[in-house]
Structure 1
């Protein structure tokens, strides 16, 4: 079976793991954690970084640090992995789900401007939704599949309405927006994930980056059980959200090859784009309109609007020894968020079930890639 996305552990991972074990520092303190944070900050283009237990934990602690409270609303796209919204729910807040842009699959900036200007009241530094009176506490754009959201449109709106921005950059490490790294785009906090299927992995883990030293110190404090000094004195309800030294050891080895691994992902995306460009039945994954995507996942979008066609193609590919995957079901269609506030979802509802994610491990061989291409073409011809 050609797998969808497996980690590439062919660097110094084993050596650093052994060093970590030999040192006895295997938990949430140790030299690899500090080194990992320094490397993440540099790779993201941010002066400060805090490593966390997961990307979800990073999103949660970021929102808490920025003052999101129970009953608040946080604006985010509906077409994203559920962890984005779950982090909001952990705060006792509620996601306000907005449709995506058809050309990028990122948050629709036109809709963002519309809801802030037409569906909200803004007075005395406070933004509230007219319908419910709930406070709008933050905007959380997602750099979908590693493609940067249009931050040059989002950030001025956030500034105009006095709203903090937490960028969910789970899969976007290595992407660039108008020549800048994604941690250097102006969001108050940017969060990465290092889950096992990410381009850079620690087996799990995440990181929060930013330019505000005091804010990042607060993030670190909250993620370390809000403990003051060496005793057991805690001044907030904190979280046990720190990355372990063992995970950081793997992450350091991964980051040494960041440029190579991202370039490999980009080449795989380009291979699929070229291979299927002449097929009427499919369109490629979107390309970044404002820079360079990290191209975390690759695949095709079927033009046929029937969900059964997508299922039949994936079944055919599995029979040929090829793993594939459906895309995220929009959050407003998910049981936990069916009653969440939502603004136009025609794009996400018409898109998600037509997406087929294809194998894109950085270790995939050229022979395997060509086999995937040939079988996808054969499978689509059989479904016409």
Structure 2
């Protein structure tokens, strides 16, 4: 087994060199420092500043969304997006148990309850087939609303997540939810630069969110974004994330309970510089994924690639090993040798705060949890051409 592991580490080192290799590090080889200095010199370093608006415009233009509203992090974006979608206290949100905890935490922030439906093995994201099966068994309509016959709580929304940047079968998910009158919010935190049938992820539902955490394809240090084509929802998102303050030159009037969730100008300055290199980042990451794919195919191992009809950003490259025992052995072997790898997330149902949530058995989720590992996925040092001064 160690020989097989050494072969994997050799292909990683052929891309990244011999030093300690991070899983996914940020790359600051463009205008980041210059824009930060300009921001400091302007004295606008908090949530009011030209770079916030510029960053929102750049992300909206890249994704094709009509509106983008910047937030302090992706979890804050999810929290507000769910609230805008009609998620209320003691309602329910159908989502996946195979996800980063922020997905479920945002549901909990609304005072709502997560319900977990299985994923597809190919996409590692919410399965429309499992969703249809669950709803056909449990969904009941009352007064134009959808309720769960087991809990008699209203099913307010569905929250699929595009795992590691591989697009879910989102059109099918939305089609199922439309039949039952359930709103869809896309957790596109990991999928900036990913497309399904030529449309950027986050463009299918009424609302979607992105993340710009330090380990994402581009980073603002910490940051998130709400995407929507609905002008009224965009205005509400901006209002709620700016403490619900009524615009006035000097009076402090707030017309509802809001949140201090707007992205600071300093972070947005980083984002503007990162957006200038996004196309290059994506091209390099696609090249790295192609090298991995060729190696693993030649050696009879399962490397996760773009699903049919989709283009993935390959945010985190994923390898499916043969068993949990092999997964655990590889994680220990690689990390002890300076190559950072990690398992896919522990299922949300195995965490104490979500262990009592309703689920459908999660067979594929459990199968993937036992086998999937992430391998280094950063843009390598000096892979980018220098920018003109």
TM-score when scaled to structure 1? 0.91
Provide the rounded CA distance (Å) in 2 between the counterparts of 1:74 and 1:192: 19
Matches within 5 A, 1:327-338: 327-338=344-355
In structure 2, distance between residues paired with 1:332 and 1:183: 26
Which shows bigger deviation, 147-156 or 125-134? 147-156
* 238 and 48 in structure 1: CA distance in 2 versus 1, 3 angstrom threshold: same
Distance 1:271 1:218 in 2: 44
Match of 1:291 among 301, 310, 327: 310
Q: Distance in 1 between matches of 2:148 and 2:31?
A: 51
1:233 aligns with 253
User: Is 2:262 the partner of 1:262?
Assistant: no
Matches of residues 361-380 of structure 1 in structure 2 within 5 Å?
361-363=378-380
Structure 2 Cα separation of the partners of residues 341 and 352 of structure 1: 19
Match among 158, 169, 177 for residue 196 of structure 2:
177
Of 79-88 and 118-127, deviating more is 118-127
Conserved? CA contact 1:104–1:289, under 8 Å:
no
- Answer whether contact 1:269 1:299 (CA < 8 A) is retained: no
Matching residue of 2:9: none
Tell me the distance in 1 between the aligned counterparts of 2:182 and 2:26: 37
Looking at structure 2, the residues matched to 68 and 320 of structure 1 have their Cα atoms a distance apart, in angstroms, of: 46
Q: Which moved more, 1:32-41 or 1:107-116?
A: 107-116
Q: Give the Cα separation in 2 of the matches to 1:67 and 1:235.
A: 19
Question: Is 1:355 matched with 2:375?
Answer: no
- Name the structure 1 match of 2:325: 308
**Secondary structure of 2:297's partner?**
coil
SS in 2 for 1:183: coil
* In structure 2, distance between residues paired with 1:124 and 1:314: 51
Contact conserved, 2:127 with 2:173, CA < 8 A, in 1? no
Q: How does 1:42-191 map to 2 (within 5 A)?
A: 42-185=61-204, 187-191=205-209
Q: Is the 8 A contact 2:117 2:130 kept in 1?
A: yes
Q: Please give the root-mean-square deviation of Cα atoms over the aligned residues, in Å.
A: 1.4
CA contact (8 A) 2:187 2:202 kept: no
Q: Which residue of 1 aligns with 2:215?
A: 197
What are the Cα deviations for residues 174-226 of structure 1, in whole angstroms up to 9, with x where unaligned?
111111122332x1101000000000100110000110000111011111111
In the alignment, the residues of structure 2 paired with residue 151 and residue 101 of structure 1 have an alpha-carbon distance, to the nearest angstrom, of 12
Contact 1:265–1:294 (8 Å) recurs in 2: yes
1:208 to 198, 201, 226: 226
The question of 1:6 aligning with 2:40 is answered no
In structure 2, C-alpha distance between the alignment counterparts of 1:344 and 1:263, rounded to whole Å: 38
Aligned to 1:246: 266
Whether the 8 Å CA contact 1:74–1:140 is kept in 2: the answer is yes
C-alpha contact (below 8 Å) 1:76/1:139 kept by paired residues? yes
Number of corresponding residues: 362
**Worse-matched range after superposition: 346-355 or 42-51:** 346-355
> Does 1:221 find its partner at 2:239?
yes
Q: Is the 8 A contact 2:118 2:365 kept in 1?
A: yes
TM-score by length of 2: 0.90
Alpha-carbon distance between aligned partners in 1 of 2:378 and 2:290, rounded to the nearest angstrom: 14
Aligned partner of 1:278 among 298, 310, 322:
298
Unaligned segments of structure 2, at least 5 residues: 1-19, 384-389
CA–CA separation in structure 1 for the residues paired with 2:264 and 2:382 = 32
Indicate the SS of the match to 1:247.
helix
C-alpha contact (below 8 Å) 2:128/2:176 kept by paired residues? no
Distance 2:320 2:178 in 1: 35
CA distance in 2 between partners of 1:345 and 1:18 (Å) = 49
Counterpart contact for 2:21–2:338, Cα < 8 Å? yes
User: Which structure 1 segments of 5+ residues have no match?
Assistant: 367-384
Counterpart CA distance in 1 for 2:365 and 2:257 is 37
